[in-house]
Structure formats: structure tokens, C-alpha cells
């Protein structure tokens, strides 16, 4: 007992501080001993956190006039080296597993990072991610080579336009850490079949639909047709993982999964389907979201948006993050219906066609934003068609 207490309270903290000091000296040397440059701690083991943290740091630099400064990202690994190389064009990455774990451990233990570590300042800059400016760009040779590989792989005509879609399940996480029970946030999952109606609209607009993500437990049914490709279950390729999200007309992402941040960083609009909880509010102005709803088990009644707000569904830092939490409150999580998802897809397709928003539906969005996200005039919007289908909840 004494051994474990000493290890936890003395040995590990001292070891972490020594590692952090040595890493600080390493950064100082990189700057030519002119001062310790700012460092961003990035979980490079998963594609979502890798790109989201880098994207946030780059947007912050631009927002605060620090584009001329050299910052570094520290990662324990880089899950997609092709994406890592693109990020390094703007934010050099240092792979240092021990220093990464020491910094994460210090933050967990003390609640604070060393002074040279960048903290996301959402409260200070609530519009940090708003707008559509891309922070990353595909090198022309990379884009040309990856497009050729994609079209050749699936027999697509040169110049084929496509979208990326994704239905969240536990396939990726189970593959990454097979021994862990991921049921604690299974409420974020969705069924691939509920996306078919939306994908039909996409295909009717002469677009190919590419299902993205890691190998999934849900497969795209074979009878969905040749214009719908289950890339996620067809063998991963680093270059194609990046290209599909970076060059899609738009991405349709389920459950707020991190892979949607790849499209976001490259300036592509995203439809966040089965979005729960509804925070943080989708960041970019061209984004749409379709939230999951909640139903009381005792009455079978859907909660209104006002009730959801009272429950803490919309503000940042909402406590609704485990399946058990909803169970304790006697609430069932209601997945988006095929009609909900298809309605959002139709909105995005209308934008691609250059059609103006329908005034009545735009007014519903304005009312929703005014009630549930005051002070944030920019950023993404809830699907207008979703609001029209659920007027009684507004």
C-alpha cells in the first residue's frame, strides 16, 4: 500500500516534471535558445483529435495575429502519417511519447499545463472556429496522386464528384482497443440503414457517396447500388482517408465522430447527424446539425427543446455524456429518422445548387438560435427541415 501511495504521489509526479523540463530544453534548443516556443499537446493516436487540435491551434494563431510565430505540436504517435505530413506544413509535430504522457499526467493531476503549452480559449474567443476558412490544404501532387488512386480503385470516371458519409458505431474503437467496453457512450451510435434515404438524394444529384471511417461492424448493403461505396470496409489507405474528406462536396457524419474534423479543417461543409449532446455548437458557418432527441420512458413523450435546455443539452460542458446518465434520468435516446437525415441532406444539396434558403425555414433557424445559442450569430445551424418536422418541440 505504501509503495503504491509513494509511486502515485511522489515518484510519478517528480518523474513527469523532470521529463517536462527536458522537453522544455528541447524546445528551447529548437528556437536557437531565443525562448521556449508554444507547444500544442495533441492526441495523435486518433484521426479526429489529431486534426481537431491542430486546426484549433492554427485558427487561434490567425485569430490573435500570431501566424508568424513557430509553434510545435507534441504527439505520442501519428495515426495517419499522410495527414501528419500535411499538418507539419503548418504546425511541426514532435513525436515524444514519454513527454506527451508526462504533460497529460501533469494536466490530469494539477488541472494546469506548463506556461509554454497552448490551451484552447473557447471562452475568450467563442468564434474561434466560426466561418469556413480552411486551415489545411492538400499539396497539388498529393491531391492528383490520391484522386487517381481513388478513381482507379473503384472504376470512377475522372472528375467524379462525391460526398463522404459516416454512421458511427463501435467498430473503430473496438478495433483500436479490443479489450475495452465502449458501451458507456453507445448512445452516440446509429444504424447505417437510416442513411439510405439521404444517400438516394445524393446519388440522384449525380454524386457518388463514399462511406468513410475505420473498418466497421455495419456494412453497406450490397443492393444500395454502385454509386454507393463502402470504402470503410474495403481496406484503409492513408492517402485516400485524407483525400475523401478533404475533397468531398460535403461530409455527413454520425454521432459527432472526430473524423468530421478532417473535412472541417480542409474547409468542407459538414452535416452532423445523430448529434448528441448538441454542444459544442457545430463550428463552421456552412455546417448543419441534426440532434438526437430524448423521450421520457414513463410517458413516451419527446422532450421539448426548452426541456432539453433545462437538462443541460445545449451549453458547452453539458453533463450528458454517458449511456448510464440517460438511464438514470429515465430517458431513451431517439436516433434521427431516415426523414430527418434526408431532410438535412436535401438542404445541403440545395446549397450546392445555389438555391436561396426558404424564408419561413430560415426564420425557424433564427428562432432556435436566439433561444438556445444567444450571442453566437455565426457558426453552423440546426437543420431547417428538422425544425419544420418538429415544430411542436420548438
Domain boundaries, given as residue ranges, for the chain:
2-110, 140-393
Residue 131: per-residue pLDDT: 62
Express each pLDDT in 43-90 by its tens digit. 999 899 999 999 989 988 988 889 899 999 999 999 999 999 999 999
**Cβ-contact 240, 210 below 8 angstroms:** no
Buried b (16+ CB within 10 A) or exposed e, 207-238: bbbbbbbbebebebeeebeebbbbbbbeeebe
Residue 317: per-residue pLDDT: 56
Q: For residues 199 and 165, what is the distance between their CA atoms, to the nearest angstrom?
A: 9
Low-confidence ranges of the chain (pLDDT < 70): 1, 3, 121-132, 170-185, 280, 315-321, 374-378
Give the DSSP letter of residue 294: E
Give the DSSP letter of residue 207: -
Q: For residues 165 and 161, what is the distance between their CA atoms, to the nearest angstrom?
A: 14
Name the superfamily (CATH) of residues 140-393: Glycogen Phosphorylase B; (3.40.50.2000)
Residue 137: per-residue pLDDT: 95
Q: For residues 364 and 343, what is the distance between their CA atoms, to the nearest angstrom?
A: 15
Residue 91: per-residue pLDDT: 96
Q: Is the dihedral of CA 190, 196, 201, 207 positive or negative?
A: positive
Q: For residues 2 and 10, what is the distance between their CA atoms, to the nearest angstrom?
A: 11
Amino acid at each position: 500500500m505504501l509503495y503504491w501511495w509513494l509511486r502515485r504521489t511522489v515518484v510519478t509526479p517528480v518523474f513527469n516534471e523532470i521529463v517536462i523540463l527536458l522537453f522544455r530544453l528541447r524546445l528551447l534548443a529548437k528556437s536557437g535558445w531565443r525562448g521556449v516556443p508554444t507547444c500544442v499537446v495533441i492526441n495523435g493516436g486518433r484521426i479526429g483529435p489529431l486534426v481537431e487540435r491542430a486546426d484549433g491551434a492554427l485558427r487561434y494563431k490567425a485569430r490573435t495575429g500570431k501566424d508568424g510565430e513557430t509553434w510545435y505540436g507534441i504527439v505520442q504517435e501519428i495515426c495517419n502519417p499522410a495527414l501528419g505530413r500535411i499538418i507539419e506544413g503548418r504546425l511541426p509535430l514532435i513525436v515524444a511519447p514519454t513527454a506527451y504522457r508526462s504533460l497529460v499526467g501533469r494536466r490530469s493531476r494539477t488541472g494546469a499545463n506548463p506556461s509554454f503549452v497552448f490551451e484552447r480559449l473557447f471562452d475568450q474567443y467563442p468564434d474561434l472556429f466560426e466561418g469556413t476558412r480552411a486551415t489545411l490544404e492538400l499539396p497539388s501532387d498529393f491531391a492528383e496522386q490520391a484522386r487517381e488512386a481513388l478513381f482507379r480503385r473503384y472504376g470512377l470516371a475522372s472528375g467524379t464528384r462525391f460526398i463522404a458519409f459516416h454512421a458511427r458505431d463501435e467498430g473503430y474503437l473496438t478495433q483500436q482497443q479490443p479489450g475495452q467496453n465502449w458501451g458507456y457512450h453507445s448512445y452516440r451510435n446509429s444504424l447505417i440503414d437510416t442513411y439510405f434515404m439521404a444517400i438516394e438524394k445524393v446519388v440522384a444529384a449525380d454524386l457518388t457517396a463514399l462511406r468513410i471511417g475505420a473498418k466497421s461492424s455495419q456494412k453497406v448493403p450490397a443492393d444500395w447500388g454502385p454509386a454507393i461505396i463502402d470504402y470503410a470496409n474495403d481496406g484503409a489507405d492513408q492517402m485516400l482517408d485524407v483525400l475523401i474528406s478533404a475533397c468531398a462536396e460535403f461530409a455527413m457524419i454520425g454521432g459527432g465522430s472526430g473524423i468530421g474534423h478532417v473535412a472541417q479543417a480542409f474547409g468542407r461543409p459538414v452535416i452532423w447527424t445523430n448529434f448528441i449532446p448538441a454542444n459544442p455548437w457545430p463550428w463552421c458557418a456552412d455546417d448543419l446539425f441534426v440532434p438526437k432527441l430524448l423521450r421520457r420512458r414513463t410517458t413516451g413523450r419527446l422532450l421539448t427543446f426548452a426541456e432539453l435546455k433545462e437538462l443541460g443539452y445545449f451549453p458547452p460542458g453539458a453533463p450528458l455524456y454517458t449511456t448510464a446518465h440517460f438511464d438514470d434520468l429515465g430517458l431513451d435516446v431517439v436516433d434521427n429518422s431516415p426523414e430527418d437525415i434526408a431532410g438535412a441532406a436535401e438542404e445541403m444539396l440545395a446549397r450546392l445548387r445555389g438555391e436561396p434558403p426558404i424564408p419561413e425555414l430560415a426564420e425557424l433557424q433564427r428562432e432556435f438560435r436566439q433561444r438556445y445559442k444567444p450571442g453566437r450569430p455565426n457558426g453552423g445551424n440546426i437543420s431547417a427541415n428538422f425544425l419544420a418536422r418538429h415544430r411542436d418541440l420548438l
